Structure 1
Amino acid sequence: MATVEVISPRTIRAKRIFKDLTREELRELARPGEKTSEYGSPVYATRVKNRSAKNTYVVGNGAPIGVMQQPIERDRAEETIREVQETLAGMELLQVDRRMGMSPEVPIHCRLYVPKDYARIAFMWHNMLFPSDSSKEPDFISVYVPDWKERLIFLDVDQGYTYILGTDYPAEAKKSMLRQAMYWIKRRGGLGLHAGSKVLRVIGPDGELRDVGFLLFGLSGTGKTTLTLHDHGLKEPERAIIKQDDVVLMTPEGEAFGTEDGFYIKTEGLEPSQTVLWGAATHPTAVYENIKLDDSGKVDFLDTSITSNGRGVVLRKYIKGTGEGIDLEKANKIVFITRRNDVVPVCARLTDEQAAAYFMLGESIETSAGDPTKAGQAKREVGTNPFIVGPEAEEGNRLLQIFRKNPEMEAYILNTGSVGASDGFPGEKVSIRVSTEIMKQIAKEGIGWEKDSDWGYEVPVNVPGVDLAKYDPKTYYTPEKYRELVDRLRGERRQWLGQFPGLDPAIPRAIEK
């Protein structure tokens, strides 16, 4: 094989590169690996069935990396790129160009290179974003080589590239572009957020109809997707308008630009009663991976024998309750969804500094679905975002700056777990109805608040339609036990926040009384 001189990590040469293929042409190329469902939608199987976070690295000697990120030496990255380019020179590739976002203020052009034999990856990713002009220079490129000799993913945010090697999991393409975009907006004074977005159009206390923009943060198992897609029982002229379910790009002014045209849904347990998603999930334009299909094409979303991480890409326009746009003019309400079971209240309203602290905590507990051996243990991820590049403290500091610049923005904790758990008692469960009603009343400004003496945030004293007496943590414990649990949780939080050098001191102080 002839040696190929490395011109640039972003310069890809191949035996042949197919460009500007339509959705239909990509599906046809992926046909050999397709099984067709009863709905006419394609179903594919992948060798790798999850993201390879432990094999993902940030190229060093460039942008500083964070505490939770793994570096790879630039020399090793460049040597690997040289080998990859030599391999690609003898292959047929697909080049897919797509645009991230709809706003002219977020003109992000993404380009994906995939071997022709893996057209299904290109096809699925094509459905995630918007049309773009392939003649333009891309902002970001990602290069897939699924049959590489080792599993290795590395990215350079300064040069805007990601190499995805040794895995055929399609979400690596999706996340590679979103990761780059989140860093892109951070360099422009904003912040990339791993959050769902929606608008609640409600009648306010003045009797006027108002649009209230929400961003919803939450780790897996907290109910973030459920709350993002919920209609809150609103009736015309009130309504819920779904914007995005994964990543938004926030400006210093509190605008939140959407990124995607397709939602990457988890299929486990999907059934007709989930009316918001079901229509899109059973539309012929849906694309699935690793779901159970019998010989006749009948789909069984309840069967997780292949994997509990079955996935699908569904188009926004077929999801009930989506509007035409994907952007929030203003993120009026920021909601950090957590799933705790003891002393965290059902809801709390935060100061700016507390908002930055709870963003940094990214807090929940492990579920049996996630890791049965750690079920019930605390689980934390800065910004509930595993795709941060750069020092984590920058993220919390930037969010605090945005809040201080936009005093009309408010932040909340929403506990979707339970309250008051102890030995032999799982706690008083917070139902979906309670969580959605609280969000609706936040939008309507229908909640009365008082300061909590232990944490300094505000807790509700009345929420229309919700019996708050059941959700007062102090009523489930003796004063001594309650103090023990509060002190233990505060200690865990102090330890977590202490990991991040450069964090504004006002942020860790905010978890004290």
Structure 2
Amino acid sequence: DNKGVFNFEGGCYAKVIKLDKESEPDIYNAIRRDALLENVTVDAAGKIDFADKSVTENTRVSYPIYHIEKIVRPDSHGPAAKQVIFLSADAFGVLPPVSILTPEQTKYYFLSGFTAKLAGTERGITEPTPTFSACFGQAFLELHPTKYAEELVKKMKKSGAKAYLVNTGWNGTGKRISIRDTRGIIDAILNGSIDKAPTKKIPYFNFEVPTKLEGVDTGILDPRDTYADPAVWEEKAKDLAGRFIKNFHKYESNAAGKKLVKAGPQL
């Protein structure tokens, strides 16, 4: 709102498949009295096997927000954001792990709401499936999506905030970007070092990406470098760019949406 940001959720609903105490300590330590586990298997001694997906890969835990150490008390609210982060899990292996967005790109990618449905999160989803959901929450929108995009950027300009697209999905190695690298990226965004880093442009999407960040594997910052043959990335990039363009056609009948076409991928 006009005063800042706030949270009205009372807890979290996290996936726990292959949960590891070292890589995700906050979630691991939140599993205690008052937490509710779903679809997990437990042995006779009461030990949880987080690697077991015999029931479903969609194993979960619901826990109250006070199970997390670093929360804002007594109420979850704060001043206007200085950084806005869009999270996307790209199953194509195309998007950089982090992109610095212009205001127009912020509107475009907020409207696109691109991510992937992960295996086990919905019935019939057995592998990552790309999906677009306006404003990352299309089912809950009352107004035309462009209205929310305009309001977001309006408030961002007022507070001097910048937007970043963070990809937690896959790259040319065939593996997901590590939690360690994603945390390094988030740290760089929050401490401002990403805005001082050297950058380069990524074709088709015209993303500005850093070429070096402390605590992040330099070899993943340009997704093309993760492929043995960069031509494979080119082919995948054209495919994904085409999907963005096709998805965005539904906004082009709206004057506000039509103005944003140039901020999106170009073929």
Instruction: Give the TM interval when normalised to the shorter protein.
Output: 0.7 to 0.9
Tell me the SS of whatever aligns to 2:260: helix
1:389 aligns with 2:147: no
- Structure 1 counterpart of 2:95: 344
Output one character per residue of 1:408-467: Cα deviation in whole Å (capped at 9) or x when no partner.
11111112223236xxxx26x521111101111222222314241523331102212333
Match of 1:457 among 185, 207, 213: 207
TM-aligned CA deviation for residue 327 of structure 1: 1.3
Query: Higher strand share goes to which structure?
Result: 1
Query: 1:231-250 to 2 correspondence within 5 Å?
Result: none
- Structure 2 counterpart of 1:359: 110
- CA distance 1:467–1:314, shift in 2 (3 Å): closer
Match of 1:331 among 61, 81, 89: 81
CA distance in 2, matches of 1:370, 1:312: 13
CA contact (8 A) 1:451 1:459 kept: yes
TM-aligned CA deviation for residue 366 of structure 1: 3.9
- CA distance 1:471–1:486, shift in 2 (3 Å): same
CA distance in 2, matches of 1:280, 1:376: 27
Q: Which runs of 5+ in 2 are unaligned?
A: none
- CA distance 1:263–1:467, shift in 2 (3 Å): closer
- CA distance 1:326–1:458, shift in 2 (3 Å): same
- CA distance 1:265–1:459, shift in 2 (3 Å): closer
Residue 420 of structure 1 aligns with an amino acid whose one-letter code is G
- CA distance 1:495–1:305, shift in 2 (3 Å): same
The two structures, once aligned, show a CA RMSD in angstroms of 3.1
CA contact (8 A) 2:99 2:166 kept: yes
Residue 72 of structure 2 aligns with an amino acid whose one-letter code is G
TM-score by length of 2: 0.78
Residue 328 of structure 1 aligns with an amino acid whose one-letter code is G
Residue 219 of structure 2 aligns with an amino acid whose one-letter code is A
TM-aligned CA deviation for residue 493 of structure 1: 0.5
- CA distance 1:508–1:375, shift in 2 (3 Å): farther
Query: 1:230-379 to 2 correspondence within 5 Å?
Result: 251-252=1-2, 255-270=4-19, 272-273=21-22, 274-283=24-33, 285-288=34-37, 291-292=40-41, 298=46, 300=48, 302=50, 303-324=52-73, 325-340=75-90, 341-370=92-121, 375-379=127-131
> What percent of counterpart residues are identical?
22
Output one character per residue of 1:251-302: Cα deviation in whole Å (capped at 9) or x when no partner.
146x11110233334444446554323343212x3345555467x7836353
CA distance in 2, matches of 1:342, 1:319: 32
Query: 1:419-498 to 2 correspondence within 5 Å?
Result: 419-420=171-172, 426=174, 429-447=176-194, 448-452=197-201, 454=203, 455-475=205-225, 476=227, 481-498=232-249
Deviates more, 1:351-360 or 1:367-376: 367-376
Tell me the SS of whatever aligns to 1:418: coil
CA contact (8 A) 1:365 1:375 kept: no
TM-aligned CA deviation for residue 499 of structure 1: 1.8
Q: Which runs of 5+ in 1 are unaligned?
A: 1-250
- Structure 2 counterpart of 1:510: 263
Query: Higher helix share goes to which structure?
Result: 2
Structure number with higher relative contact order (C-alpha < 8 Å, ≥ 6 residues apart): 2
1:399 aligns with 2:146: no
CA contact (8 A) 2:117 2:130 kept: yes
CA distance in 2, matches of 1:451, 1:272: 36
- CA distance 1:483–1:398, shift in 2 (3 Å): same
Aligned residues: 254
Residue 485 of structure 1 aligns with an amino acid whose one-letter code is K
Residue 327 of structure 1 aligns with an amino acid whose one-letter code is H
CA distance in 2, matches of 1:480, 1:309: 35
CA contact (8 A) 1:290 1:311 kept: yes
- Structure 1 counterpart of 2:169: 417
Tell me the SS of whatever aligns to 2:193: coil
